[in-house]
């Protein structure tokens, strides 16, 4: 392995902190969806959904398979455009934007099925996550000496701090295609963190993991939330994990919202219990 | 035993992102450059220049260009020769319209013009992918060749329909025209190759290169990270076409001197460049050179063995070349999709450990 | 009726006939694409190779004669016999089946689960390989292919339509090559029999199953490798038919393989997965390029057939990427 310098094992708070949402105090509303409905042809994926995400909280979205959880994330990060309803971000109503524009506003995400750049190394994947923070143009990049190199090194420092934080130093230069599943998930989290998002969307970050890996991942999620105050919205199927790490929970079923509140409130909600355990419809 | 990275410590990120992070690689590279610049010009003769060195250098630029588009950005193009033709005809029109203009500026401007044409044909890439795009680039290939063939303005109404390069010099040394010396043409091309390869290398190691690869590996994820797909693909088309245009301009002005577009820039040439990057290595600067060297040298070698050595007819040698090239393409795609460049990397990794197995 | 109008009709008819020829090549593409997701660039070269093999066998040529002569200084060319057309066709078919088996064994087996674009490039390599191999085996000179198909203008049609033109307009009746009529009949027969085959036979159902979902097909016990051999053999058969028709029309030569390139825009129009699409796409391209050349070509220097099909395909791609009949492409995250 090539030896590289690492400034500190501790990630400084300035590294992964918000920018656009600086004006919003923790506990205030960061994002709100209002009466969102989304349909594909005749199939209704989401019907009249409203909820909010407060700055600094861990917000879980749960529900049985096909409840519309992933569709909800896709609406938030602009991959789907709802036919009805509005999305408010940082106190402003959001225009219909493309996903890459939304990334520049400070929303990052991971995917249910890992969506890493298979041909690139761990480091390059995380550096790609820094894309929204890099400014040099084609000409400066081609000449390299000067601005481009400086920018590369500055961003490399941030990337290295994230690598340290996620404890993936040893696989820094390994092509991600060769990594085991659990590590790939971690690299994907790293890539999203590298964007220093105001809002981090995690689509089933622990799917397919064993207990130990889940514990690791939960710890990373909580650390990100605690230390840098990053707001997190996550989809997860493991109820134990959801109840343990989230501040508030939204429950979807068949594209409708059937519950919203703290884990304790949701647990005692009859509609939620019915959706999960099944109830005789008669 | 002698090829080692042990003890070659990096203490800054700047050192870690060098083109050749290993000191030994760096030294080898400098020696190669010194040989190319200081020794070859004195021993070069017309045969070596026209059979091997010039086509190698010029086609490397084209391969570099296609590798940016296909190897790095994942957009397959079968229109390379069409864009080379744009470079060649831009070069011709500029040379004849502005006789005072330096050939260096002419060649680079030809690249810029080709880049603009490339951008135009790159626009559909936002909506079409994979081999659909490959078919779309065929439109560029056939339309451009037809255009240069049919519109007399492009060949200044010459009776033969050909274009031929006037004599131009750099600081009194002729680099185009029948009188130009082999070493002068060689050095001119070599300087351009080294500079362009260095610039391309810089592009591929930074922000832009990563955005290309992100689009190649998973375009949806790239978009969600903040990469604008259209801008990124267009930048790849632009840079790629620039390089290919420069290559076409050199192929016409320095190498051939006279060009009949259908013959020189036909679809076969497009395939040739594509094969260069497959054999050399997709997504590798070194691979572009390795592939170009391989496909320039192999026919020369085959010809020397079979025609000059065994006295076989040339058409048989040509057919055997087809069989070998086709076979090699399949072989590389099966055994080593990353081409010669990957073989070279693996060899080096083995060497680093030698004589220990692990 | 005005002569101009009649000429336009003739152009359209000829375009339709050329379109049938494109469709024949495109048909082979669709078959392989449906069953294996491979975009087989070598389809056109397969047609060329089949036509060369057919002529070679028919005339009793010694395979690799040139190579043997060059290597050993001999002067052999022919066995000295000729093979009847039908027999030669059967033997060519055997060669194409052998070829299908070899392709599966040597190439496809090792490229399972590769990205489509890698497979596409592999078939370009295959095309080069076959082209060189065909030339080495049978020589690269222009050959005439004659298996007794009728050719020349259809006198019957000319006589039937000669009266349509105005008196003294110089119109001699509609001209259509009889060979084109035969080709149309053959293409129709091929499409019908392929459709019947895929609907009503066990192998046909297996083919459709594989086209639908590789994994699922495997899980119900369909051998993917066997299916591939069958599909490539059928595609080889279709290539042979196309090769015979094209070869009989314009001689067996290198340019035959360029028809493969023309089949690409045909597929873009028709969609890669639709057999009727391949036919209709072929007809549209055939008529389109002939009409364009007839009406606009003279104004811009002619020879627009070189690019018309591709540019049409490009325009099409921008507005309807899935083709006329192809399945809609839905992207998911």
Q: What is the pLDDT of residues B67-95, one digit of tens each?
A: 999 999 999 899 999 999 999 999 999 99
Angle C255-270/C43-58 helices, nearest 10 degrees? 140
pLDDT computed for residue C246 by the predictor: 83
Asked if B211 has any chain A CB less than 8 Å from its own CB, the reply is yes
Minimum Cα–Cα distance from C64: chain B residue: B316
Give the whole-angstrom CA distance, residue C122 versus residue C107. 8
Our CA-based measurement puts residue B119 at a distance from the nearest CA of chain A, in whole angstroms, of 15
* Subunit contact A117:B227, Cβ cutoff 8 A: no
Using a CB-CB cut-off of 8 Å, the residues of chain C touching B326 are 125-132
Angle A147-165/A181-194 helices, nearest 10 degrees? 130
pLDDT computed for residue A16 by the predictor: 44
* Subunit contact B224:A142, Cβ cutoff 8 A: no
pLDDT computed for residue C332 by the predictor: 53
Asked if C333 has any chain A CB less than 8 Å from its own CB, the reply is yes
Asked if B224 has any chain A CB less than 8 Å from its own CB, the reply is yes
Domain locations along chain C: 3-319
Q: Count how many Cα atoms sit within 13 Å of the Cα of residue A65 in the half-sphere of its side chain.
A: 0
Q: What is the pLDDT of residues B251-270, one digit of tens each?
A: 999 999 999 998 999 999 99
Q: How confident is the model at residue A279 (pLDDT cuts 50, 70, 90)?
A: low
Give the whole-angstrom CA distance, residue C129 versus residue C141. 18
- A115 and A203 Cβ atoms separated by less than 8 Å: no
- B174 and A118 Cβ atoms separated by less than 8 Å: no
Question: Which tokens hold the place of C19?
Answer: 């379109």
- B52 and B111 Cβ atoms separated by less than 8 Å: no
pLDDT computed for residue A138 by the predictor: 92
Our CA-based measurement puts residue C118 at a distance from the nearest CA of chain A, in whole angstroms, of 15
Give me the CATH number covering residue A10: 3.40.50.300
* Subunit contact B211:A103, Cβ cutoff 8 A: no
Using a CB-CB cut-off of 8 Å, the residues of chain B touching C258 are 267
Residue A65 inside a domain? The answer is yes
pLDDT computed for residue B313 by the predictor: 85
Of the two residues B346 and C56, the one the predictor is more confident about is C56
Q: How many domains does chain A have?
A: 1
Our CA-based measurement puts residue B147 at a distance from the nearest CA of chain A, in whole angstroms, of 31
At CA B261, angle to CA B258 and CA B264, rounded to 5? Answer: 75
pLDDT computed for residue C162 by the predictor: 67
Residues 6+ apart with CB under 8 A from B76: B70, B130, B131, B133, B134, B137, B274, C117, C120, C121
Using a CB-CB cut-off of 8 Å, the residues of chain A touching C333 are 70, 74, 79, 111, 115
Of the two residues A49 and C170, the one the predictor is more confident about is A49
Give yes or no for a cis peptide into A14 (omega within 30° of 0): no
Give the whole-angstrom CA distance, residue B121 versus residue C315. 11
Our CA-based measurement puts residue C332 at a distance from the nearest CA of chain A, in whole angstroms, of 9
Highest mean pLDDT: which range of A9-13, A258-262, B25-29, C14-18: A258-262
CATH of the domain spanning C3-319:
1.10.3470
Domain locations along chain B: 39-264
Q: Does position A2 have pLDDT exceeding 50, yes or no?
A: no
Give the whole-angstrom CA distance, residue A130 versus residue A186. 16
pLDDT computed for residue A18 by the predictor: 43
pLDDT computed for residue C91 by the predictor: 94
Q: Count how many Cα atoms sit within 13 Å of the Cα of residue A230 in the half-sphere of its side chain.
A: 32
Using a CB-CB cut-off of 8 Å, the residues of chain A touching B202 are 141-144, 148
Q: What is the pLDDT of residues C95-106, one digit of tens each?
A: 999 999 999 898
Minimum Cα–Cα distance from B75: chain C residue: C117
Q: Does position C151 have pLDDT exceeding 80, yes or no?
A: no
* Subunit contact A119:B216, Cβ cutoff 8 A: yes
Mutation to test the B interface, candidates C29, C124, C258, C301, most B Cβ within 10 Å: C124
Over range C64-85, report the average pLDDT.
83
Residue A43 structural domain: 2-122+197-277
Over range C297-326, report the average pLDDT.
80
Cα–Cα distances in Å, from A30 out to A18, A25, A229, A230? 11, 9, 12, 11
- C263 and C29 Cβ atoms separated by less than 8 Å: yes
Q: Does position A7 have pLDDT exceeding 50, yes or no?
A: no
Q: What is the pLDDT of residues A16-64, one digit of tens each?
A: 444 556 778 888 889 999 999 999 877 888 999 999 999 999 999 998 8
Q: Does position B154 have pLDDT exceeding 80, yes or no?
A: yes
Using a CB-CB cut-off of 8 Å, the residues of chain A touching B14 are 149, 153
Q: How confident is the model at residue A240 (pLDDT cuts 50, 70, 90)?
A: confident
As for the ipTM of the complex, it is 0.87
Q: How confident is the model at residue B198 (pLDDT cuts 50, 70, 90)?
A: very high
DSSP B267-281: HHHHHHHHHHHHHH-
Residue spans of alpha helices (H) in chain C: 3-36, 43-58, 65-72, 85-102, 116-138, 155-161, 178-200, 202-212, 214-219, 224-250, 255-270, 275-295, 308-319
């Amino acid at each position: 392995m090539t030896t590289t310098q690492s400034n500190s094992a501790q990630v400084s708070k300035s590294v992964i902190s918000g920018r656009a949402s600086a004006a919003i105090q923790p506990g205030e509303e960061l994002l709100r969806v209002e009466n969102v409905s989304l349909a594909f042809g005749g199939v209704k994926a989401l019907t009249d959904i409203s909820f909010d995400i407060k700055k600094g909280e861990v917000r879980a979205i749960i529900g049985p398979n096909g409840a519309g959880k992933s569709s909800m994330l896709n609406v938030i990060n602009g991959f789907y455009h709802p036919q009805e309803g509005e999305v408010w971000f940082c106190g402003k109503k959001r225009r219909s934007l493309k996903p890459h524009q939304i990334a520049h506003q400070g929303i990052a995400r991971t995917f249910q099925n890992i969506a890493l750049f298979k041909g690139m190394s761990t480091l390059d994947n995380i550096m790609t996550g820094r894309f929204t923070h890099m400014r040099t143009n084609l000409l400066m990049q081609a000449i390299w000496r000067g601005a481009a190199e400086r920018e590369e090194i500055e961003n490399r420092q941030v990337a290295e701090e994230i690598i340290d934080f996620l404890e993936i130093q040893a696989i820094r230069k390994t092509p991600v295609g060769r990594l085991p599943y659990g590590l790939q998930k971690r690299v994907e989290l790293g890539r999203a963190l590298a964007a220093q998002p105001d809002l981090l969307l995690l689509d089933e970050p622990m799917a397919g993991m064993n207990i130990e890996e889940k514990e690791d991942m939960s710890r990373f999620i909580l650390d990100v939330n605690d230390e840098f105050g990053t707001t997190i919205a996550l989809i997860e199927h493991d109820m134990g994990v959801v109840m343990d790490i989230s501040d508030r929970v939204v429950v979807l079923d068949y594209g409708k919202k059937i519950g919203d509140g703290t884990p304790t409130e949701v647990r005692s909600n009859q509609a939620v219990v019915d959706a999960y355990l099944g109830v005789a419809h008669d | 035993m002698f090829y080692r990275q042990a003890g070659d410590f990096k203490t800054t990120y700047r050192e870690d992102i060098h083109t050749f992070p290993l000191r030994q690689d760096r030294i080898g590279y400098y020696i190669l450059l010194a040989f190319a610049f200081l020794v070859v010009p004195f021993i070069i003769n017309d045969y070596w220049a026209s059979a091997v060195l010039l086509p190698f250098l010029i086609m490397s630029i084209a391969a570099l260009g296609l590798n940016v588009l296909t190897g790095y950005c994942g957009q397959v193009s079968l229109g390379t020769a069409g864009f080379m033709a744009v470079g060649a005809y831009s070069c011709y029109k500029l040379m004849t319209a502005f006789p005072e203009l330096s050939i260096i500026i002419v060649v680079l401007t030809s690249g810029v013009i080709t880049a603009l044409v490339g951008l135009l044909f790159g626009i559909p890439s936002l909506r079409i992918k994979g081999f659909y795009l490959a078919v779309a680039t065929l439109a560029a290939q056939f339309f451009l060749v037809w255009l240069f063939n049919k519109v007399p303005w492009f060949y200044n109404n010459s009776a033969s329909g050909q274009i031929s390069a006037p004599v131009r010099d750099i600081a009194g040394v002729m680099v185009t025209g029948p009188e130009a010396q082999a070493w002068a043409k060689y050095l001119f091309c070599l300087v351009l190759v080294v500079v362009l390869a260095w610039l391309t290398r810089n592009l591929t190691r930074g922000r832009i290169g990563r955005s290309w690869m992100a689009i190649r590996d998973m375009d949806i994820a790239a978009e969600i990270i903040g990469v604008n797909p259209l801008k990124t693909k267009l930048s790849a088309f632009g840079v790629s076409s620039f390089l290919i245009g420069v290559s076409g301009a050199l192929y016409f002005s320095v190498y051939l001197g006279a060009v009949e577009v259908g013959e020189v820039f036909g679809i076969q040439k497009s395939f040739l460049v594509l094969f260069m990057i497959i054999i050399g290595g997709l997504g590798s600067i070194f691979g572009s050179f390795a592939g170009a060297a391989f496909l320039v040298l192999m026919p020369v070698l085959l010809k020397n063995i079979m025609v000059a050595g065994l006295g076989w007819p040339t058409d048989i040698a040509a057919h055997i070349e087809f069989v070998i090239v086709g076979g090699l393409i399949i072989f590389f795609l099966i055994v080593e999709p990353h081409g010669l460049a990957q073989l070279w990397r693996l060899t080096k990794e083995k060497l680093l450990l030698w004589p220990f197995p692990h | 009726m005005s002569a101009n109008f009649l000429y336009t009709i003739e152009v359209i008819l000829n375009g339709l006939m050329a379109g049938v020829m494109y469709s024949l090549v495109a048909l082979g593409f669709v078959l392989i694409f449906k069953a294996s997701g491979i975009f087989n660039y070598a389809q056109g070269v397969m047609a060329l190779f089949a036509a060369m093999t057919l002529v070679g066998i028919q005339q009793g040529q010694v395979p690799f004669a040139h190579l043997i002569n060059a290597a050993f200084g001999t002067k052999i060319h022919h066995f000295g016999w000729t093979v009847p057309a039908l027999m030669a066709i059967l033997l060519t078919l055997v060669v194409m089946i052998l070829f299908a088996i070899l392709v599966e064994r040597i190439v496809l087996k090792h490229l399972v689960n590769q990205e489509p674009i890698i497979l596409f490039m592999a078939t370009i390599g295959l095309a080069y390989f076959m082209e060189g191999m065909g030339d080495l085996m049978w020589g690269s000179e222009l050959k005439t292919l004659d298996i007794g198909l009728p050719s020349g203008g259809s006198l019957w049609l000319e006589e039937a339509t000669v009266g349509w033109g105005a008196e003294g307009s110089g119109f001699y009746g509609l001209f259509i090559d009889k060979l084109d009529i035969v080709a149309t009949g053959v293409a129709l027969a091929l499409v019908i029999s392929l459709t019947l085959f895929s609907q009503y036979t066990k192998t046909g159902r297996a083919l459709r199953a594989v086209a639908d979902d590789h994994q699922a097909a495997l899980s119900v016990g369909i051998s993917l490798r066997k299916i591939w051999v069958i599909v490539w053999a059928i595609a080889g058969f279709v290539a042979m038919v196309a090769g015979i028709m094209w070869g009989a029309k314009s001689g067996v030569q290198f340019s035959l393989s360029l028809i493969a390139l023309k089949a690409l825009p045909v597929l873009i129009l028709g969609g890669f997965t639709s057999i009727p699409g391949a036919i209709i796409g072929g007809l549209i391209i055939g008529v389109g390029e002939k009409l364009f050349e007839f009406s606009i070509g003279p104004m811009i220097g002619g020879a627009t057939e070189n690019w018309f099909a591709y540019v049409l395909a490009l325009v099409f791609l921008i507005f309807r990427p899935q083709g006329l009949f192809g399945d809609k492409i839905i992207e998911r995250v």
